A = this chain, B = another copy of it.
Amino acid sequence: MYQLLTDLFPICRSITGNGVRETLNTIRKYIPIEIIEVPTGTKVFDWMVPREWNIRDAYILDENDRKIVDFKENNLHVVSYSVPVDKTVSLTELQEHLFSLEEQPNAIPYITSYYREHWGFCITHNQRISLKEGNYRVVIDSELKDGSLTYGELILPGSSEKEIFSSTYICHPSMANNELSGPVVTTMLAMWLASEPRRHTYRIIFIPETIGSITYLSRNLDHMKQNTVAGFNVTCIGDEQAYSFLPSRNGATLADRVALNILKFKHPGFIHYSFLDRGSDERQYCSPGVDLPVVSVMRSKYGAYPEYHTSLDNLDFVTPLGLQGGYTILRDCLELLERNGIYQATCLGEPQLGRRGLYPSLGTKNPQQEVTEILDFLAYADGSNDLIEISNIIKVPVWRLYGIVEKLLAAGLIMEKTIS
């Protein structure tokens, strides 16, 4: 995963343009995503697909023709969606087009101006205060014209039409946790899913944030509302710090229940955010009338770490170990969605486990832990609780129930209940 992330890192992405296409084509080397183009001007809910933005080069020259700021060194240097410019300006005029962070003087900030024509450069605050009076030549060789918005989609059919939805975004330039960790982990999860038998159908999309999710919803909402049982917005999943959770607006969907159960048993110290702390595409997926069951399981959440939206969110901040942890927690969630079910005990009273080799033959002072887990599971296998609920009630990690379910199914002591 770290290698793929490193490959994708230098590409200059925005909400439209060739950076998105290059990113999707790189991912297509691993999983067979379909790439869809939606023309500029297409009406999508309350929005319109904007003009496509591409950039070839950008720099600032000082009076000695030295490149003091160079897009080719770091694509964060240019405000995303900057219109073309090529002129000489005084330092005073230049200042109006510069962005820096006083409190993080070594970081280049990430700034966008999608919906108002503007141009600008982002630099470190240390560089900014070292700029001398004089004239500067500013060049942005960009293009903003009719084109299309590009996104990727992968449908992995399962035995059921019921869908698990996964969304991640590919619209930020060179940033690692709040951008590339999402597509990279999603790609690996898709590879794993493709290699396994699946109960659910999986709908996996790679989109530009906000305008992309709105565009996607405007084309797929009816089908998704009818079929989606759980969904994940995959973002900020590659650093080694926190595990964190952002609920759906509803707060009690299957996606919420799955993620909270897994996090509680696996990383009990995880940070539980409120939906008020949202900031990514759950803003669209959970909006009134859309109401999809989408949550975010993250490591350090966007906005909650100092490196966020700066050049410090880089290949050092995200690590192979961090990506592995993020991948594993999401895979655990998907595995639970595949294995979850409602079971009903087939006999009244407790079954006689002893003659099935599931109970110790000698009655002693301290019964064994595994026997307790089987009996506790059976006590709540009443045809109404699913595995998640039983795990929560009996305080046993759900993955320890998978084996118990198999043993009890084999012994005919439980049956799976079909939900009408």
Mark A residues whose CB is within 8 Å of B: 45-47, 79-80, 99, 101, 109-116, 118, 210, 213-214, 217-218, 221, 249, 275-276, 278, 283-284, 286-291, 303, 308-310, 344-345, 347-352, 354-355, 361-365, 375-376, 378-383, 393-395
Contact of A352 among B46, B113, B116, B376 (CB under 8 A): B46
Ordered nearest first, which 10 A-B pairs have the shortest CB separation? A288-B382, A116-B361, A112-B363, A46-B347, A46-B351, A284-B349, A214-B349, A45-B349, A115-B354, A288-B345
Which residue on B lies nearest to A287, using beta carbons? B349
Which residue on B lies nearest to A365, using beta carbons? B309
> Would B46 and A363 count as touching, CB distance under 8 A?
no
Nearest CB in chain B: distance from A367 CB, A:
8
Q: Which residues of B contact A118 (CB under 8 A)?
A: 361-362
Q: Which residues of B contact A218 (CB under 8 A)?
A: 348-349
Q: Which residues of B contact A383 (CB under 8 A)?
A: 288
Q: Which residues of B contact A111 (CB under 8 A)?
A: 362-364
12 A-B contacts, Cβ less than 8 Å apart? A46-B348, A99-B364, A110-B365, A112-B363, A113-B362, A118-B362, A210-B350, A218-B349, A278-B379, A287-B349, A288-B344, A288-B378
Q: Which residues of B contact A309 (CB under 8 A)?
A: 365
A278 to B284, CA, bound (A): 47
> Would B363 and A113 count as touching, CB distance under 8 A?
yes
A141 to B291, CA, bound (A): 73
Q: Which residues of B contact A376 (CB under 8 A)?
A: 276
A382 to B249, CA, bound (A): 11
Q: Count the copies.
A: 3
A70 to B119, CA, bound (A): 87
> Would A348 and B379 count as touching, CB distance under 8 A?
no
Q: Most B CB atoms within 10 A — which of A115, A308, A310?
A: A115
> Would A114 and B249 count as touching, CB distance under 8 A?
no
Q: Most B CB atoms within 10 A — which of A286, A290, A308, A365?
A: A365
Contact of A361 among B113, B283, B287, B291 (CB under 8 A): B113
> Would B394 and A349 count as touching, CB distance under 8 A?
no
Starting from the known contacts A249-B379, A287-B379, 14 additional A-B residue pairs (CB-CB under 8 Å) come to A46-B352, A217-B348, A217-B349, A275-B379, A276-B393, A276-B394, A283-B375, A287-B345, A287-B349, A287-B378, A288-B344, A288-B378, A289-B345, A303-B365
Which residue on B lies nearest to A282, using beta carbons? B379
A382 to B291, CA, bound (A): 10
Which residue on B lies nearest to A382, using beta carbons? B288
Which residue on B lies nearest to A48, using beta carbons? B352
Take A283-B375, A288-B379, A379-B287 as given contacts and tell me if A45 and B363 are in contact as well, using a CB distance cutoff of 8 Å.
no
Q: Which residues of B contact A113 (CB under 8 A)?
A: 361-363
Take A308-B365, A382-B289 as given contacts and tell me if A350 and B115 are in contact as well, using a CB distance cutoff of 8 Å.
no
Take A276-B376, A365-B308 as given contacts and tell me if A348 and B45 are in contact as well, using a CB distance cutoff of 8 Å.
yes
A207 to B275, CA, bound (A): 48
Q: Most B CB atoms within 10 A — which of A47, A350, A395?
A: A350
A284 to B351, CA, bound (A): 10
Nearest CB in chain B: distance from A96 CB, A:
12
Which residue on B lies nearest to A383, using beta carbons? B288
A218 to B289, CA, bound (A): 47
> Would A352 and B283 count as touching, CB distance under 8 A?
no
Contact of A290 among B114, B289, B348, B355 (CB under 8 A): B348
A218 to B112, CA, bound (A): 68
Nearest CB in chain B: distance from A407 CB, A:
15
